[in-house]
Structure 1
């Protein structure tokens, strides 16, 4: 009992809990990494798609020169409202938009940026095609996607815990959507279908997750993501029970807290690992160098 529609619905209290708990837990450091990869490029106008509550937007506003215009978009109006309410260090244009049908003319932007958003969009080649359409010659598409769920142990632990609560129809949102688009061959195929013929630069990046207690990641995932929609679709009265169960599973696996994640190559007690793949792509007419896969 899960659907592409419910997977991309961020409404009710989800935006607030997402910003309060999930952003510091897993998104902030990756946003800093993503924004830093644009900081040295000559830019005049940047488009962000699937901006969410604005964690990357705020980083872009901080690291890019003030004369670089930033347009931040998202399909979910409640997420944009939260982002605008938090604000940025300088003016940003906020706009609701479907990434599969961007409301912009051709060749309008020097960069298109997306943090952990393409996994939620049903037609990925169409998203890449739209990004390519609005990019100027020499522009860059920069995005990241989560690695497989087994490499992201908080999410994996939560998903496994909920199987015992709903054994006949376990909620699989985290495995199906955020962590369901990690195959680089598939990503490259989708890019090629969209007209990107040169291979991308690919960087595998690992970061540490920290929380003061196991309940923080449990609350973040169970109530601050569309996983909540799946739980409530099965039995809304059991949302609190699901969160408690996830917290207990995290405590059992990593200790009662504080929990501190490990890096990809370093083992640590009371730890959880999360990884993502960062991808930078330039149109073929830029003479893109061969595929570059790096660990960072």
Structure 2
């Protein structure tokens, strides 16, 4: 049976995270070019090394990596991009309409695919959000063919990611008694190579590597950086809960801090870990 046929028969995911359409649009418009597009290029190059014929992408978001994969991999390669958020898929799917590219609503911890369907499973900055990482990694192992690879990226610590740490510090100053902690609690919380390798090994992967990749992020304006983080991520809910009528004012204050530290056309360092493993 082909991958396309299996997709048509797949079961949908049962739940979705709280990304609404407005947040997904800001994510795509601002956060993708600032943070995700530079890493997508590098991840696609790494993916192409094994010349996979079929690729499953987990936590595809609005398709930053999907677009890079489609531009880099051989045209016959079949790509299945999945995400738990339908709002993200609704924004991303229209941007990649080439043949052999499919979009699905799916949970990485309970993939709706038969065993040994893919040559490569790939995930850019999604693993941090998996509640049960070993279960998600085990699912990736299950759907990979013999000698298949699992490749994913995760953010390094907050302290070595300039824009994110600047936003976090500013919000801590604005809410000293109860600072929003989304950034340090989730996206920038999963960077211990030893723990990551152990979880990958527990899921059945061999020859696990974990390499640091440092890149530079450039934004059109400090306000873009502030809006990207404060309104284009789940940090928005934490800010609105604390100050429901002050979002515009808070974005402006964060933008002032970013501009003071990183300039009117901000440039800052980013650091991530790129993890790879293979099945026997």
TM-score between the two structures when normalised by the length of structure 1 = 0.86
Q: Which residue of 2 aligns with 1:282?
A: 278
Q: Does structure 1 residue 242 correspond to structure 2 residue 250?
A: yes
Task: Verify: 1:67 aligned to 2:98, yes or no.
Answer: no
Partner of 1:10: 19
Tell me how far apart the structure 1 counterparts of residues 52 and 164 of structure 2 sit (CA, whole Å).
Answer: 36
Deviation track 1:48-69 (CA, whole Å, cap 9, x = no partner) reads 0000000111111111122211
- With 153-162 and 227-236 compared, the bigger mean Cα shift is at 227-236
Structure 2 gaps, min length 5: 1-15
1:8–1:226 Cα contact (<8 Å) kept: no
C-alpha separation in 2, matches of 1:38 and 1:104: 21
- Equivalent in the alignment of 1:216: 224
Shift of 1:158: 0.4
Describe the SS at the equivalent of 2:51.
coil
8 A Cα contact 2:56 2:79, kept in partner: yes
Give unmatched runs, 5+ long, in structure 1: 1-6, 261-271, 286-296
Deviates more, 1:204-213 or 1:87-96: 87-96
**Structure 1 partner of 2:166:** 157
Moved more, 232-241 or 134-143: 232-241
Contact 1:149–1:156 (CA under 8 A) maintained in structure 2:
yes
Query: Which shifted more, 89-98 or 148-157?
Result: 89-98
User: For residues 234 and 199 of structure 1, what CA distance do their matches in structure 2 show?
Assistant: 45
1:84 aligns to 2:105 (yes or no): no
CA shift for structure 1 position 230: 1.1
For normalisation by structure 2, the TM-score amounts to: 0.91
Would you say 1:129 and 2:125 are equivalent positions? no
Instruction: Go from structure 1 to structure 2 and tell me whether the alpha carbon gap of 1:167 and 1:12 turns closer, same or farther (over 3 Å shift).
Output: farther
Once superposed, which parts of structure 1, at least 4 consecutive aligned residues long, lie more than 6 Å away?
none
Q: Note the alpha carbon deviations across 1:132-166, whole angstroms, 9 max, x for none.
A: 00000010000000000000011001011111222
Structure 1, residues 263-289: CA drift from partner, whole Å, max 9, x if none?
xxxxxxxxx211101111112x2xxxx
CA pair 8-273 structure 1, distance change in 2 beyond 3 A: farther
The alignment partner of 1:202 has SS state of strand
Match of residue 182 from structure 1 = 191
Partner residue of 1:258? 265
